[in-house]
Structure 1
Amino acid sequence: MTEKRTIQAEDLYQLKSVADPQLASNGRDCVFIETVMLEEENKYSSHLYYINVSEKNKPVQWTFGEARNHSPRWSPDGQRVAFVSDRSQKGQIYVLDVKGGEARQLTTCPNGASNPVWSPDGTKIAFNVALKNGESLSSSNKSEEKKDKRPVPLEVDKMKYKSDANGFWEGNYTQVAFVDIQTEETGLLTSGEHDYQLQSWSPDGKYVTVTADLSEEKDQSFLSDVYLINAETKEARKLTESTGYFGSATWSPNGKYIGMLGHEREYKNATLSKIWIYDMEAEKLDCLTKDSDLLIGDYAIGDFQQGAVTLGILWGEDNHSFYFLATDHGNTVVYYGTLEGELYPALLDAQHVYGLSTGGKVDRAVVALSKPSHPGDLFVLHVTSGELEQLTNVNEAFLQETVLANAEPIEFTSSDQWDLHGWIMKPVHFKEGDKVPLILEIHGGPHAMYANTYFHEFQCLAAQGYAVLYINPRGSHGYGQQFVDAVRGDYGGKDYEDLMDAVDYAIANFDFIDENRLGVTGGSYGGFMTNWIIGHTNRFKAAVTQRSISNWISFYGVSDIGYYFTDWQIKSGLNDIETLWKHSPLAYVDKMETPLLILHSEKDYRCPIEQAEQLFIALKDRKKAAKLIRFPEANHELSRSGKPNLRISRLNYIAGWFNEYLN
């Protein structure tokens, strides 16, 4: 038998990601998205696939070419699928008849269209569109002549003028529009100088549910309210009380209740998201999970899956029960709930569920599921028995020829008696008696969670002969409200001690670890912590900091979120420079002796590249071992959704640095 090969960074070109399963109301027909990276074209390609979950035949591809086709949504009668495709450059809404034939383009919006939602009678599709005031919903299909490309000044008069996802604001507002399926006539449901996010359509067709922040002064406003828009008169009615952040609004089949996810920002962005129910008859909103410490939704960190969507609660046909995803102790799991407040786990294994669809049924669901040594596939979940049946095996050939590392869960107690949880990966082809280097990985957020999911970066390091340690220090999601809030105001405090306790635990309990060959890396908050660690200990022989923060004082003014995130997380602002500097890794640069590789994207507006530049120049000025790698045309999301060649270069830089200093 031929020995399996080890994984490489370049295998991202071989791996396929499946996501966003959508089960039709008949409970049998399922459509989903499969995404691959095209090496020669250096881009992503996504396609719709169909499978009958009862017959479990091989999936059938429904779209073709090099485009990204995504967001499939069934018509109420299950005879058509609406989806978004960029085959005509900008993403537009298309509809496909399940009996066959070419997909028909329904929109020609100048800035693209997204998020299709069917009307209950199947005659219209609502969608989101970005428009300038007075701009038309339609544009010519013909290629526009090249416009004058001379640079023009950017006028800025508000603080929220840029975002890492969208770059500089160009005057567009996100509106809700609709298109008639037969006539292809379009119209707007919202307008004005506000952004509206489409949620759902009421079962009787009278209302479209949207979320928006209609505050006049938005620079200091961090709200998301749920509104009902009358589909005929366009009148808006607010359901929430501007007390926090609410969204993911879904209707019960009888139209009596609206379920939504949200919180009232008691702990700023560290507040746990909960389930809320709005009673249409009583006109009252109540929090269904107010007494629970369970985090609703999927907050797991990964670097592989493409096209996963944010889910609200999925109602059953009985109008009082529903399913939802929850983040819990290193897993994302499926829960069953009722209007009476009952909560029961329906799938509680060690896994990452990053997709869920029920088609409105209560007896079974389709889940997208990943584990540390399984990139991801679709499964049928039989709710009564808890049995899982595999529907897809998209990476079967790859997994047959490639060996992956397993992740062993660890639990330990911190130096101040907090329970902590994480994983350790042995190197691939590990032999008893070996002494191997260890790399500590630190996640971003900080309010996120490492999980039982596939992580390509970890697998690549394990394939190179490294043990990989990763934990969820305080500040992470999945372990209750007190735990996630504990990091605020204490960056570099107990969170740092948690990570050092984890390293101590690993060395004491795994005799294969060579404590003289330790490396550390992380991105965003994990990059901050990497910088902090090497300024406070010399136990690590190599470090790689990614998209990091080094100076909270400058971060305040240059990040797209700096002026409020600094206040929320450090609990300080420019009126207290001393505190900001005390929490800045740059303040400890004289103590940094660990060779440091700095990876940063040129268009990172979340943690701008000047954070990397400051640290690099300070280290080089002190004759320290440091190197800076700048990634062009990339933002904060480089490791997850950046250009394929840059993602692979990043992985090879990380491995190369550790190979140089730990071997």
Structure 2
Amino acid sequence: MSASSIGSMRTGPDRMFKGADLFDLAMAADPQISADGRHIAYVRRSNDIMSDRMKSAIWLIDTETSEETPLAGQNGDAFSPRWSPDGKRLAYVSTQDGTAQLWVRWMDEGEAIRLTGLPASPGTLAWSPDGRSIAYSMLVKDEGLKLGAAPDQKPEEAQWAEPLEIYDLLTYRADGEGYIEPGYEKIFVVAATGGAPRQLTFGPYHDGGPLSWSPDGTTLYFGANRQPDWQTDPVDGEIWALDVASGRLAALTNRDGPDQAPSVSPDGRLIAYLGFDDVRRAYEHHDLYVMNRDGSGIRNLTAEWDYDPGNIMWDAAGRAIYAQYDVRGETRVARIGLDGSVRDVAEGLSGGGLDRPYTGGSFSVSDKGLVAFTGGTSARPAEVQLARGGNTRTLTDLNSTLRAVKALAPVRKITASSSHDGIEIDGWLTLPPGYREGSRVPLILEIHGGPFAAYGPHFATDNQLYAAAGYAVLSANPRGSTSYGEAFANRIDKAYPGDDYLDLMSIVDRAIELGIADPDALFVTGGSGGGVLTSWIIGKTNRFKAAATQKPVINWTTQALTSDGPAVFGPYWIGSQPWEDPVAYWERSPLSLVGNVATPTLVVVGSEDYRTPVSEAEQYYTALRLRGVPTALVKVPGASHGGFAARPSQSAAKASAILAWFDKYRLGWAPSAVGAASQ
């Protein structure tokens, strides 16, 4: 039966949010405002039903008229727009010709030229102050370790096996990248009118991250770990000054910690940067520092400010630095003075993703202090917004058609006191559309990953799909979550999972106490760190009728030695290596509790996950099967850990599988009550 014939049989439009609606979603990202504040170039990311992926295009907004014009991305993807200092040109990266290359568009003439023919994608674009050059970073491949060779008597047309694969890096595979090709990220510069790029940095180190020019164009500043032990001590790095003419390098900082993201003041006297002292904890706030251009006179501007600044940039007068930060599940932009004073200039940032309600977003600032940012709500994915003098205006409406025909789920905030020690825990309840006050509905506790991350009142397709099926969805921030201060996040240092379990149970109890959640119809799911806690929870309690653990860590020993973070998980998360303290690893592993599990549990993982490798999920599935616990294993083909929901069809199918699993175990639930709540 064709889609059109199905549509003709309906008595009216389908008001509920469905998996197919994922293909109709779009969101704004990376808004770049011109120096004069007249235009914003931004990346419009929209799901494409034919390629089953999100495509990126660059659009231009006139901030006075709100008129939008497409600039790039009609053929291939386009992203990373960056204005020239005079605002007359726009640099960006495009795959128009099949591979990612650096392009420049002359805004008045409307002409665009490709500057490069690179073997790898350029990143971290930075215009020189005179507008004549563009610096960027790029992976430079090398041969890697060679050991012996296959016989050289291969007959013509013989079908021999592929050559051996030899790896000698500590992290030899990375999530989303696969098995790492030998090579290093290096810094280049190319003329803004085209020509041969010139490589500026060399050696067996990765040089990249945000690049910042000195006002006279003679020096580039960047953050990098160029120590011989960079593989085993990755949480380190210094700010480097690179002489563009000679390639001479000088380290401006020197401490055990990751100094990074330098930004040079407009007059060139000061350098702002981010960093912290590495004390071997799994989570640390960055602080915002300024120093003289020679590395002297270092000052910490945020020593008394208990938040984590990011995406820093100077104001035009050189008197303050703008920074993005999270507070209680929401994202803002602050103006931080050189005296340490802090004033918010924008709030409501959004854009942490589409599938779950993570904090996030991005911003830029004009010379006159206009703040362009991506902002949204729980019912609206990220749009381009403009903050001016305390007033905020939304400039785009990327999902107006969908919102006009779909009954999206309402979201309300709740709080609870933890039964462990009384600390306050925030959560957001996504309710079924048409929810009737006073009625109880089945509840899905949906736990965020990280675990050093945060949920908030942001749009989430998973939550909308669950709510459309009649469930309330609880997105909570237990201890360990970010945006509540450094001490709150470090309540789980070397103790994860642990008391965060009690926080989650307390806020579930609060949802029941409010008369919303049915205590006899509780379900639990979560991904990554949320998968860890899902597996931990069902090893501690049988309160939940069914569970779905997504891309979990099950055994910290195998996680530490098979993931793409082998230098971090042992010393920073557990406090030792597996052979040094195997008991500590076992005590924090959900596998240690599998003997208690009676909850029917779905196990879900991407088939190319290298962050919480597939073997973690497979261990758990096998253990559950051996114990006779109802279970099934779902693999998302081709999906990495970070790209778990990247393909719309798979994101929808994954949510559908979880809903089907939960529906299977909703025995004893009154369908009439769900129907009444969903009408």
Q: TM-score by structure 1 length? A: 0.92
Which of 198, 209, 216 aligns to 2:221? It is: 209
CA displacement, residues 30-76 of structure 1 (integer Å, 9 cap, x when unaligned) = 1101011211222332111011112222x111124341100000111
Which of 67, 70, 77 aligns to 2:86? It is: 77
Are residue 89 (structure 1) and residue 103 (structure 2) matched? no
CA displacement, residues 100-150 of structure 1 (integer Å, 9 cap, x when unaligned) = 444211111112322221111111111111112499xxxxxxxxxxxx995
Change (3 A) 1:107 1:657: same
Q: Secondary structure at the match of 2:22?
A: helix
Contact 1:522 1:546 in 2 (8 A): yes
Q: Secondary structure at the match of 1:548?
A: coil
Corresponding letter in the other structure for 2:338: L
Contact 1:33 1:47 in 2 (8 A): yes
Aligned counterpart, 1:144:
none
Aligned counterpart, 2:66:
56
Task: Write the mapping of 1:4-43 to structure 2, written as runs, cut at 5 A.
Answer: 5-43=15-53
Aligned counterpart, 2:463:
458
Aligned counterpart, 2:385:
379
Change (3 A) 1:149 1:544: farther
Aligned counterpart, 2:329:
330
State the 1:256 CA deviation.
1.1
Are residue 657 (structure 1) and residue 661 (structure 2) matched? yes
Aligned counterpart, 1:341:
340
Change (3 A) 1:180 1:349: closer
Q: Where does structure 1 lack aligned partners over 5 or more consecutive residues? A: 136-147, 298-310
State the 1:592 CA deviation.
0.8
State the 1:349 CA deviation.
5.5
Q: d(CA) in 2 for partners of 1:649 and 1:55?
A: 41
Q: d(CA) in 1 for partners of 2:263 and 2:561?
A: 38
Q: Secondary structure at the match of 1:486?
A: helix
State the 1:360 CA deviation.
3.0
Corresponding letter in the other structure for 1:24: S
Aligned counterpart, 2:290:
277
Aligned counterpart, 1:176:
187
Q: d(CA) in 2 for partners of 1:570 and 1:241?
A: 27
CA displacement, residues 308-336 of structure 1 (integer Å, 9 cap, x when unaligned) = xxx22x21121112321111111111111
Corresponding letter in the other structure for 1:52: D
The number of equivalent residue pairs is 631
Corresponding letter in the other structure for 1:289: T
Change (3 A) 1:149 1:457: farther
CA displacement, residues 328-365 of structure 1 (integer Å, 9 cap, x when unaligned) = 11111111111111111223459656121112332x21
Deviates more, 1:517-526 or 1:419-428: 419-428
Deviates more, 1:198-207 or 1:625-634: 198-207
Contact 1:44 1:68 in 2 (8 A): no
Q: Secondary structure at the match of 1:73?
A: strand
Which of 478, 488, 492 aligns to 1:487? It is: 492
Aligned counterpart, 1:643:
647
Change (3 A) 1:77 1:13: same
Q: Secondary structure at the match of 1:638?
A: coil
Corresponding letter in the other structure for 1:359: S
Q: d(CA) in 2 for partners of 1:278 and 1:404?
A: 49
Q: d(CA) in 1 for partners of 2:160 and 2:348?
A: 55
Q: Secondary structure at the match of 2:253?
A: coil
State the 1:648 CA deviation.
2.2
Aligned counterpart, 1:406:
410
Aligned counterpart, 1:286:
299
State the 1:428 CA deviation.
1.2
Q: d(CA) in 1 for partners of 2:394 and 2:27?
A: 15
Q: d(CA) in 2 for partners of 1:179 and 1:614?
A: 50
Q: d(CA) in 2 for partners of 1:633 and 1:348?
A: 36
Q: d(CA) in 2 for partners of 1:366 and 1:494?
A: 40
Are residue 166 (structure 1) and residue 181 (structure 2) matched? no
Task: Write the mapping of 1:475-514 to structure 2, written as runs, cut at 5 A.
Answer: 475-509=480-514, 511-514=515-518
Aligned counterpart, 1:559:
563
Aligned counterpart, 1:120:
129
Change (3 A) 1:650 1:407: same
Deviates more, 1:229-238 or 1:162-171: 162-171
Corresponding letter in the other structure for 1:345: D
State the 1:255 CA deviation.
0.9
Contact 1:92 1:114 in 2 (8 A): no
State the 1:565 CA deviation.
1.1
Which of 431, 437, 453 aligns to 2:436? It is: 431
Q: d(CA) in 1 for partners of 2:143 and 2:602?
A: 48
State the 1:441 CA deviation.
0.8
Are residue 218 (structure 1) and residue 224 (structure 2) matched? no
Task: Write the mapping of 1:626-641 to structure 2, written as runs, cut at 5 A.
Answer: 626-640=631-645
State the 1:420 CA deviation.
1.5
Q: Secondary structure at the match of 1:458?
A: helix
Change (3 A) 1:533 1:183: closer
Q: d(CA) in 1 for partners of 2:184 and 2:594?
A: 43
Q: d(CA) in 2 for partners of 1:425 and 1:526?
A: 18
Deviates more, 1:344-353 or 1:427-436: 344-353
CA displacement, residues 516-556 of structure 1 (integer Å, 9 cap, x when unaligned) = 11000011111011001111100000111111011112112
Aligned counterpart, 1:591:
596
Change (3 A) 1:267 1:553: closer
Contact 1:203 1:255 in 2 (8 A): yes
Aligned counterpart, 1:142:
none
**CA RMSD, aligned part only?**
2.0
Change (3 A) 1:573 1:64: closer
Corresponding letter in the other structure for 2:526: G
Aligned counterpart, 2:150:
none
Q: Secondary structure at the match of 2:492?
A: coil
State the 1:265 CA deviation.
2.3
Are residue 520 (structure 1) and residue 520 (structure 2) matched? no
Aligned counterpart, 2:540:
536
Corresponding letter in the other structure for 1:187: R
Q: Where does structure 2 lack aligned partners over 5 or more consecutive residues? A: 1-10, 145-158, 351-358, 670-679
